[in-house]
Structure 1
């Protein structure tokens, strides 16, 4: 069994490797390495990291045009975040789901997710994500033809 320090180093390395691949738009490689990471964290029962990897995997599949697969992964992430009870992460998962629905053209559904994410960001004091969800709501309202609401 790996020592906790070794485990943290492996996760940090994989995170940096993921960032490098993302900057280079190496989406297939991200999928492959993230799936390996998922096996690892599931083996050790690390739900927190599993949720993060599911979000990353969903983003990679969305970038590859596999938006329905991305949607499924983001829903899995939300279920884990809800089980863990971290409101900030639940809000982020809801916002990510809004983004996937927006990309699928289900803009009204996206708005509902963005609004839920925004409410959580405000209640937890997550100013960074509050700004992101306000911006995403603005884009969605424009897409709905309701630019005044923006």
Structure 2
């Protein structure tokens, strides 16, 4: 599990540096390890990270594939903050695809969760996405 977390962290650094392909390489190495060791929370985080990279690369369908895999895991492990972030990510992708109604469906699910967990920044981001 430590190896997967390290790979995930390295991927996050590359993503922050704008090197998305390198980030993807590390996230895709972390994912099977997370699955092998049964780290469902880590798996969901890595799936979400991969989705974010694909979204940043403009491959929205691929991003949705990963976000849709992460969402039920976030729910299963009770990660409410992660669930809200994933819902927001899915909503943003649908918005970018021009499906405003579907985007609102996900964003409106994320909003009360952000409020419940006290994530003011997430709440603000979701409100901004709803309003744009």
1: distance between equivalents of 2:80 and 2:128?
20
- Counterpart pick for 1:31 among 3, 17, 24: 24
TM-superposed CA distance for 1:85, in Å, is 2.3
How large is the Cα RMSD of the aligned pairs? 1.6
Secondary structure (helix, strand or coil) at the match of 2:98 reads coil
Secondary structure (helix, strand or coil) at the match of 1:105 reads coil
Are 1:49 and 2:36 matched, yes or no?
A: no
Gaps of 5+ in 1: 1-6, 140-150
**What is residue 123 of structure 2 aligned with on the other side?**
130
Larger Rg: 1
TM-superposed CA distance for 1:25, in Å, is 1.8
2: distance between equivalents of 1:121 and 1:108?
20
**What is residue 91 of structure 2 aligned with on the other side?**
98
2: distance between equivalents of 1:67 and 1:51?
18
**What is residue 146 of structure 1 aligned with on the other side?**
none
**What is residue 75 of structure 1 aligned with on the other side?**
68
2: distance between equivalents of 1:98 and 1:127?
18
Instruction: Return the structure number with greater relative CO, CA threshold 8 A, min gap 6.
Output: 2
TM-superposed CA distance for 1:20, in Å, is 2.6
2: distance between equivalents of 1:85 and 1:12?
19
2: distance between equivalents of 1:64 and 1:86?
26
* Alignment length (residue pairs): 132
TM-score between both structures, scaled by the size of structure 1: 0.80
Gaps of 5+ in 2: none
TM-score between both structures, scaled by the size of structure 2: 0.90
